[in-house]
Amino acid sequence: MYSLMANCCNWLKRWREPIRKVTLIMVGLDNAGKTATVKGIQGESPEDVAPTVGFSKIDLKQGRFEVTIFDLGGGKRIRGIWKNYYAESYGIIFVVDSSDVERMEETKETMSELLRHPKISGKPVLVLANKQDKEGALAEADVIECLSLEKLVNEHKCLCQIEPCSAIIGYGKKIDKSIKKGLLWLLHIIAKDFDALYERIQKDTTEQKAAEEQEKRERAERVRKIREESYLCIF
C-alpha cells in the first residue's frame, strides 16, 4: 500500500511540473554524424544523409520538455554561425567521429574554442563518441584523453557526460540506447538548474539582440554615407 501511494505521489508531482521549452545545439566537425544523430532522435532513418549547409532544426517532446535542437553545420567555413545560437542554448550536444583519429586535434581545438565562449561556459555538455561501429574507432577512455576532455570541462565549469554510440544502428524507439541515455542525462541536468539557466538565457539573448540591432544601425549608416559621397561625386 505504501509503495502504491508513493508511486501515485510521484506521478502526481511529475504531472504538475510545468512544460519547459529548451533549445539545444548539436555541433561537431563535418562528417561527425550530427545529422544522422538528430534524424535518429526524431525517428527518421539516419542513412544517406547529406552534409548540413548552415543549419537544420527539429522539435520534439521528451517527458515534460518541449525540445528544439539546432543541427549546425560543421565545415570550417560554417562554424562561424555557431555563435549566433549560443545565447539561446540550454545545453550542447557535441558529436565526435571516434573513427577519425587524424582529426582529433582539430576536434579538440574546436571544442576548446566552443567551451571558452562566455555564452557557453558553465552550460552542460553531452559528448557523443559516434561511429563506434567503425573499425579502429577510439574507445571512450581514448576519446577523453585525445580531447583532454576532463581538463576542458573542469576549466570552463561545464558538467559533462560522454556516451560511446553509433547513430546509424537504429532510429526512433530503436535508436542507440547510449544516445537516448545521453539526451535524458542532458535534460535532467538542465531541469535541476533550469531557473538559473533560464535567467542567463534571457539576459544573453536580450544583449545579443541589442548588439545585432546596433550593428544593423551602424551598417545602415555606413551605406547612407557611401551613397551620399557617391551623390556628391556625381555633382
Q: Is 62 annotated as a binding residue?
A: no
Q: Is 142 annotated as a binding residue?
A: no
Q: Is 52 annotated as a binding residue?
A: yes
| Alpha carbon distance, N-terminus to C-terminus of the chain | 93
Q: 97, 143 in Cβ contact below 8 A?
A: no
Q: Is 40 annotated as a binding residue?
A: no
Q: Which residues touch 8 (CB under 8 Å, ≥6 apart)?
A: none
DSSP state of 217: H
Q: Is 31 annotated as a binding residue?
A: yes
User: What is the spatial distance between Cα 189 and Cα 65, in angstroms, rounded to a whole number?
Assistant: 12
Q: Is 210 annotated as a binding residue?
A: no
User: What does 121-147 look like in DSSP terms, one character per residue?
Assistant: TTS-EEEEEE-TTSTTPPPHHHHHHHH
Q: Is 34 annotated as a binding residue?
A: yes
Q: Is 74 annotated as a binding residue?
A: yes
Q: Is 205 annotated as a binding residue?
A: no
Q: 191, 180 in Cβ contact below 8 A?
A: no
Q: Is 132 annotated as a binding residue?
A: yes
Q: Is 23 annotated as a binding residue?
A: no
Q: Is 29 annotated as a binding residue?
A: yes
Q: Is 71 annotated as a binding residue?
A: no
Q: Is 63 annotated as a binding residue?
A: no
DSSP state of 95: E
Q: Which residues are annotated as a binding site for GTP?
A: 28-35, 74, 130-133
- Report the binding-site residues for Mg(2+): 35, 52
**Annotated binding-site residue numbers:** 28-35, 52, 74, 130-133
